[in-house]
Amino acid sequence: MSSEKYEPLTIETLAARLGSVDAICKVVGDDTSKWKIDEVGDGNLNLVYTVSSESGNIIIKQALPYVRLVGDSWPLPLSRSFFEHEVLVRQAKRDPGSVPVIYYFDKEQAIIAMEMLLPHIILRKKLIAGEYINGLAQRLGEFCARNAFRGSDLSLQTADKKSDTAMFQGNLALMAITENLVFTEPYFEAEMNHHTEGLDPIVKILRSDVKMKSEAQKMLMKFTSNTETLCHGDLHSGSVMCTDNETKVIDPEFGFYGPMGFDIGMLISNYLMAYFSQPGHRDSEKLSEYQNWILKVIEETFETFQQEFKKLWNFERTGILFPSSMFEDQGDSSDFALNEMLEYIWQDAVAVCGIEMHRRVLSLAHNADFEEINDTKKRSQLEARNLMMGRELILNNKSIKNASELTSLAKKFNSENYL
Ligand code: SR1
Ligand code: MG
């Protein structure tokens, strides 16, 4: 395959093109006439095929040379597939079992063949359906902490960290998407923006809030400059797949070296959007119970993050940062530094959280949590709560001290009527 020129796969060509790849045949067999092939990609960027046979199932993900959501007027490099593969390899090492197993990678064709997660379902769909997932907070709290810590100068040898950072700077086209779509475009009338009818008064408040816009841009400066750790880069609820009891993380093609609070901030933001959108998906009988569960997930996720990060700090601090020679070896506790570090991560997470809450309602790529609410009046009212809380988080990222303060705020905003 790799010697051929890049060509997007189709349902018709997939078997002929991949039928001789040993690693794939090991999973689905080499009799391609028995392969059942479907295209299931519902994301914004790539082709995703499922191949199933009596022997097994596999996912074939292939990057397109453009943004699928927009079309070939927006070219996007195939190299994102390379970076996705590189991130998956590191995440599998840093948090074993957290991501799908990779069976095969073809750089030229931008193809990753990986484990089909079955019967897992995209977390966002489960949240919209009002389903409970055991162990969700624990799993993703650990995932974020392990990757934040083990990808940073707290853990890695500095030469390795620096060369990896340099390599990931190559993922600049994907970083540019985040820089524009997430941090900047929500705050002016950018060409591809759209928002629900009726939201204009709220949009006006946000776009004319100089202090808030300045805070958002300060966070962008951290995004571009603070290469603290290897981030997933797009950890929203569409990048997580779950059964009732198991949670896995997918799709790290936006991987980049950035702030340690970035992934967990984006994740919490997506929980908050699930929370605010709930009245559009169920009636009052089950509503508050489910909303409270989402808030509990947020609190437990950050609690787990802290506990896991503390553990790693105490037992795996092998990098150049805060070496034990400066603390424990001299009989000094490093707890003060650790607590300050956790506070710093939390502040960044809160700012990222607020910005993501804005971009999913005002920028190009919205999320199904709100989009699937057909009653636009209701949708705009719920989105208004979400937007106003996002503003509060951006403005006050340094004074919201912990996850329980954040969830109390969510309850407050959830009871307001802005439109
Ligand atoms: C043009 S890509 C839009 C969004 O989809 C991806 O999932 C990322 O979240 C990106 O910002
Ligand atoms: Mg994705």
Asked if residue 44 lies in contact with residue 69, where contact means CB atoms within 8 angstroms, the answer is yes
Beta bridge partners of 61: 48, 112
Does 243 lie in the same domain as 189? yes
Does 365 lie in the same domain as 262? yes
- Whether 335 is in a domain gets the answer yes
Q: Give the span between the Cα atoms of 304 and 133, in whole angstroms.
A: 16
pTM over 0.85: yes
Q: Give the span between the Cα atoms of 386 and 410, in whole angstroms.
A: 9
Does 226 lie in the same domain as 157? yes
pLDDT tens-place string over residues 268-291? 999 999 999 999 999 888 999 999
Beta bridge partners of 247: 242
Does 338 lie in the same domain as 229? yes
The pair of structure tokens assigned to 57 is 């199932």
- Whether 2 is in a domain gets the answer no
- Whether 4 is in a domain gets the answer no
The enclosing domain of 348 has a CATH number of 3.90.1200.10
75, 90, 115 - which closes a domain: 115
- Whether 7 is in a domain gets the answer no
115, 141, 173 - which closes a domain: 115
80, 100, 115 - which closes a domain: 115
Does 175 lie in the same domain as 83? no
Does 277 lie in the same domain as 134? yes
**For tokens 């941090």, what's the residue?**
183
Enclosing domain of residue 61: 14-115
Length of the chain: 419
- Whether 236 is in a domain gets the answer yes
Integer angstrom CA distances of residue 94 from 91, 101, 226:
5, 14, 21
Does 275 lie in the same domain as 382? yes
Q: In the structure, which protein residues have their CB atom closer than 6 angstroms to any atom of ligand 1?
A: 43-45, 67, 69, 177-178, 181, 234, 365
Does 195 lie in the same domain as 92? no
Ligand 1 atom showing the smallest separation from residue 76 Cα = 1
Provide the angle, in degrees to the nearest 10, between the axes of the packed helices 210-225 and 376-395: 70
The enclosing domain of 52 has a CATH number of 3.30.200.20
Which of 74, 177, 361 is the best mutation target for the ligand 1 pocket, counting ligand atoms within 8 Å of the beta carbon and taking the most? 177
Tens place of pLDDT for every residue, the chain, 419 residues? 666 899 999 999 999 999 999 999 999 999 999 999 999 998 889 999 999 999 999 999 999 999 999 999 999 999 999 999 999 999 999 999 999 999 999 999 999 999 999 999 999 999 999 999 999 999 999 999 999 999 999 999 999 999 999 999 999 999 999 999 999 999 999 999 999 999 999 999 999 999 999 999 999 999 999 999 999 999 999 999 999 999 999 999 999 999 999 999 999 999 999 999 999 999 888 999 999 999 999 999 999 999 999 999 999 999 999 999 999 999 999 999 999 999 999 999 999 999 999 999 999 999 999 999 999 999 999 999 999 999 999 999 999 999 999 999 999 999 999 99
* Ligand closest in space to the Cα of 41: 2
Integer angstrom CA distances of residue 164 from 12, 93, 231, 299:
38, 15, 12, 32
Does 172 lie in the same domain as 250? yes
Does 381 lie in the same domain as 241? yes
* Ligand closest in space to the Cα of 178: 1
Does 220 lie in the same domain as 363? yes
Which of 83, 174, 181 is the best mutation target for the ligand 1 pocket, counting ligand atoms within 8 Å of the beta carbon and taking the most? 181
Does 325 lie in the same domain as 294? yes
pLDDT at 1: 64
The number of distinct structural domains making up the chain is 2
- Whether 3 is in a domain gets the answer no
pLDDT at 49: 98
